[in-house]
Chains A and B, each alone.
Chain A
Amino acid sequence: MKRILSLILAAMMLLGLALAVGAEEPITIGVVYKQSGNPFFEAGVRGFDEASKELGFTFIHNGPADSSNEGQIQIIEGYIQQEVDAIAISANDAAGVVSVLQTAMDKGIKVVSWDSKVEAAGRNLNVDPSVAQNIGRVQVEEIAKQIGYEGQIAILSAAATHDNQNTWIAYMKEELEKPEYDKIELVTVVYGDDLTDKSYQEMQGLINSYPDLKGVISPTTVGVAAAAVAIKDMGMSGKIKLTGLGLPSEMADHLADGTCEAMFLWNPIDLGYAAAYASIAMVKGDITGAVGEKFDAGRLGEREIMDAGDGGTFILVGDPFRFTGENIDDWKNVY
């Protein structure tokens, strides 16, 4: 009896072993975003989710509550411990995460930055939402048109350490050098730290400090929404024009009543989706992140890797879309 029992046990163990060897361990991506609870990144995660159903990988996602560099380092260190296959990050500080990501790459983990890039030394590939120059340009064109190419404007940004914000603002300033914007004066750049309360206070401060202010560009979803509320509360709707990068679901009412005539955003779902496809292609060895390589990005079609000009490489997802009171109903329940 004992022998039969032990035989059965041994057989079961063998079977278990065979199963364990047969089942391939799924690829795991560790997703890091700027801030937990931020709806933009919740939408980005939906893109990862969509890709995971098509490609059959698993992913974990997290971001610091305070959109800090330190918080992201801790999360990355956790992912290294958990031996993920790839890390897909939207960095709060392009330089601040380089060394911890180098540690990850030394252990064979592929690093893809998306939305807000990591410096070239700390990544294998960057997934750019759109050409930064275009993002800066369209917002200047929009505000200039709205204020009639004349008057004071201000920029309400997120934080002074956010690489994507700084790049866009630099391109905005470059665009403003053009002769058609001669009569437009950029009076200041203020930072709301992507906190609704602080952004609201900064906007309120702008309205009080610059009585001749004609327009505001806020290239951040938290900032542009808080600015819209502040403008409305202070009875400046229509008097101070507003544009920027906003979330359709959050900006729906402000676009419908004209407080914000038009704003822009790319699709964060597509952005997460493309970052997921790039990460998987890299883990599988289809691409290494070198210029000229191509890979299939699912429903977005084929993408070619290009030189980013910062010593690294990148792919493009798409161009920013212009949301207005007319088309917002089609988008406000999407993201």
Chain B
Amino acid sequence: MSFLKKLVRNREAGLTLVIILLVLLVGLRNPAFASLSNLQFILGDTSIMIILALGMLCVLLVGSIDISISAIMALSAMTAGILMKNNLGLVETTTLVEGVETALAIKTSTPLIVLILLAMGVGAACGLVNGLLIAYGKVLPIVATLGLQYIIYGLSHLVSSGQAIYRKDMSESFIQFTRHNLLGFNSKVWIMLGTFLLLYFFITYLRSGRRLYAVGSNREAAQMSGIDTKRTTLMAHVIMGALAGLAGMLYASHDNKVTQDMAMGYEMYVIAACVIGGVSVTGGFGKILGVLLGALAIGVINNGLTMLRLTGNSEFWKKAIQGAVILIAVVTNVYIKRGHEKRVLRERRL
């Protein structure tokens, strides 16, 4: 087998190569792009997208889709944000400034962990409604989550009563949530890695995780073998919802702001990341590492186009190039899958 063929077969290696090539190409034109600090920034910036893409992987595997995730991010961050704003207070402490003890007032509020759990709970509840509609109500996934998207954005408007949450309404611990660094990596990266490992373990070694693949690749067969396909679909949507809640908090902390229409349109990046990563949108097919790389590829393209300054306003270029990358990824998917099926048939001597 030629090297090229191997590369096409091993999608993850191919994607990694593409990402490295992109970094080198853009880096040649603007060396600042390939600097360590910028690459660390891209990884941190993409972490939120990766967390969402991991949830989307579960949903896509069972043959469903969720386009309400940006709305879920807004609602969960807004709910937690309002609680934080209402409980905001000042605590006087002292800190050492150049060896002198100086009085300092720090903004405090509800403990960060409570806020995060609340946001994830709100997200999981939204996911539950999505899952119930799709698994038990038999509504087409794209229709159900489209409808929910509007309803959830509406709810977020209601919860916010038209007001936004700004930095002044945020506790210090929430502002710093996405600004801690450990071993050179941002806290967003560590949270993403944790989520990645947890989900990797779940879908690789746990029975309920393996069922995601079973349900998506052949629903009837899965049902016959005693798998509760409805419950599996429901579970996938709840995982997605909870992760969207977590991502919403990271997004809000990073932006120093929660608006009622926060993250609008973000779901498209997430779905694109999955598709580029080789996840089948019809279910049953897709690797977790591929999703990670797919999201990274989008992150690199986004940041690269900002740094390249192709035109005064590169947003249109960005969209066009993203579109082209997605199309190439989908076509590659189809060919790889077809080749794979042929090979399987040949091996069975049919």
B38 touches A196 (CB 8 A): no
Chain B 230-268 interface mask (CB, 8 Å, partner A; 1/0): 000000000000000000000000011101110011000
A42 touches B162 (CB 8 A): yes
**Is B315's beta carbon under 8 Å from chain A?**
yes
**Is B210's beta carbon under 8 Å from chain A?**
no
A196 touches B255 (CB 8 A): yes
Report which of B30, B256, B264 forms a contact with A225, defined as CB distance below 8 A: B256
A197 touches B255 (CB 8 A): yes
A159 touches B259 (CB 8 A): no
Tell me, in angstroms, the Cα distance from A291 to B168 when the chains sit together: 44
A39 touches B164 (CB 8 A): yes
Stretch at the interface among B58-66, B302-310, B329-337, B338-346: B302-310
A65 touches B32 (CB 8 A): no
Tell me, in angstroms, the Cα distance from A42 to B168 when the chains sit together: 18
The contact size tier of chain A is: 35 or more
**Is B285's beta carbon under 8 Å from chain A?**
no
The contact size tier of chain B is: 20 to 34
**Is A205's beta carbon under 8 Å from chain B?**
yes
A204 touches B260 (CB 8 A): no
Using a CB-CB cutoff of 8 Å, which residues 54-94 of chain A contact chain B?
65-66
**Is A36's beta carbon under 8 Å from chain B?**
yes
Q: Which residues of B contact A211 (CB under 8 A)?
A: 32
Report which of A39, A201, A226 forms a contact with B302, defined as CB distance below 8 A: A201
Using a CB-CB cutoff of 8 Å, which residues 181-196 of chain A contact chain B?
188-191, 193, 196
**Is B174's beta carbon under 8 Å from chain A?**
no
A209 touches B307 (CB 8 A): yes
- CB within 8 Å for A226 and B255 given contacts A37-B261, A208-B33, A254-B167: yes
B257 touches A188 (CB 8 A): no
B257 touches A208 (CB 8 A): no
User: How far is the CB of B193 from the nearest CB of chain A, in Å?
Assistant: 20
- CB within 8 Å for A250 and B167 given contacts A201-B302, A201-B303, A209-B307: yes
- CB within 8 Å for A159 and B313 given contacts A208-B32, A208-B35: yes
- CB within 8 Å for A160 and B255 given contacts A65-B264, A201-B306, A332-B168: no
Tell me, in angstroms, the Cα distance from A208 to B35 when the chains sit together: 9
**Is A249's beta carbon under 8 Å from chain B?**
yes
- CB within 8 Å for A191 and B257 given contacts A201-B302, A204-B41, A254-B167: no
User: How far is the CB of A223 from the nearest CB of chain B, in Å?
Assistant: 13
B315 touches A193 (CB 8 A): yes
Chain B 31-47 interface mask (CB, 8 Å, partner A; 1/0): 01101011001000100
B168 touches A160 (CB 8 A): no
**Is A330's beta carbon under 8 Å from chain B?**
no
User: How far is the CB of A331 from the nearest CB of chain B, in Å?
Assistant: 11
Residue of A nearest to B32 (CB): A208
**Is B196's beta carbon under 8 Å from chain A?**
no
Tell me, in angstroms, the Cα distance from A38 to B309 when the chains sit together: 27
Residue of B nearest to A333 (CB): B168
Q: Which residues of A contact B257 (CB under 8 A)?
A: 196, 225, 250
**Is B138's beta carbon under 8 Å from chain A?**
no
Tell me, in angstroms, the Cα distance from A332 to B45 when the chains sit together: 29
A205 touches B166 (CB 8 A): no
Main secondary structure, interface of A, reads: helix
Residue of B nearest to A204 (CB): B41
A253 touches B167 (CB 8 A): yes
B313 touches A37 (CB 8 A): no
- CB within 8 Å for A160 and B312 given contacts A37-B261, A65-B261, A201-B302: yes
**Is A252's beta carbon under 8 Å from chain B?**
yes
Report which of B32, B168, B307 forms a contact with A249, defined as CB distance below 8 A: B168
**Is A202's beta carbon under 8 Å from chain B?**
yes
User: How far is the CB of A163 from the nearest CB of chain B, in Å?
Assistant: 15
Using a CB-CB cutoff of 8 Å, which residues 7-45 of chain A contact chain B?
36-39, 42
Q: Which residues of A contact B30 (CB under 8 A)?
A: 209
B33 touches A252 (CB 8 A): no
Q: Which residues of A contact B164 (CB under 8 A)?
A: 37, 39, 42, 250
**Is B9's beta carbon under 8 Å from chain A?**
no
**Is A229's beta carbon under 8 Å from chain B?**
yes
A188 touches B264 (CB 8 A): no
Q: Which residues of A contact B256 (CB under 8 A)?
A: 225, 229
**Is B6's beta carbon under 8 Å from chain A?**
no
User: How far is the CB of A334 from the nearest CB of chain B, in Å?
Assistant: 13
Sample of 4 further A-B pairs with CB below 8 A, known A42-B162, A65-B261, A229-B167: A37-B157, A205-B306, A205-B309, A250-B166
Please give me the 3 A-B residue pairs with the lowest Cβ-Cβ distance, nearest first: A37-B261, A208-B32, A252-B168
Q: List 27 A-B contacts (CB under 8 A).
A: A42-B163, A42-B164, A65-B264, A66-B265, A160-B312, A189-B312, A191-B312, A191-B313, A193-B315, A196-B255, A196-B257, A198-B315, A205-B307, A208-B32, A208-B35, A208-B307, A209-B30, A209-B32, A209-B309, A226-B255, A229-B167, A229-B256, A252-B166, A252-B167, A253-B166, A253-B167, A254-B167
